[in-house]
Amino acid sequence: YTDLEILAETEEGDAYLFASKDKRIAFVTGHPEYDANTLASEYFRDVEAGLNPEIPHNYFPQNDPQNKPRATWRSHGNLLFANWLNYYVYQITPYDLR
């Protein structure tokens, strides 16, 4: 799409964060809002259902589902949301404080 701009991508070159040209609409291809065990619950649910899901990339330490995941993305998710609100929502929202 020519009306979207890639703002961040993975080391493998996959788009992670992209937005409309005016930055009012943002898209994130991951789940920075997830708790540490949310994706694990989804993964094990799908395993038990016989769906043979791929092990989530960079989620379980050493890519071993027996290892407890660490929420290494939490601060990034908070910062991403706060920055989007500040720079692309609040800054262009007209306020009349009279």
- H-helix or E-strand containing 43? helix 38-48
Band (pLDDT 50/70/90 cuts) for residue 1 is: low
Model confidence pLDDT, tens digit, residues 70-96: 888 889 889 988 988 888 778 777 776
Beta strands in the chain (DSSP E): 4-9, 15-20, 26-28
How many separate helices (H) and strands (E) can be counted in the chain?
A: 2, 3
44-70: pLDDT as tens digits: 999 999 999 999 988 999 999 999 998
Neighbours of 36 (CB within 10 A): 14
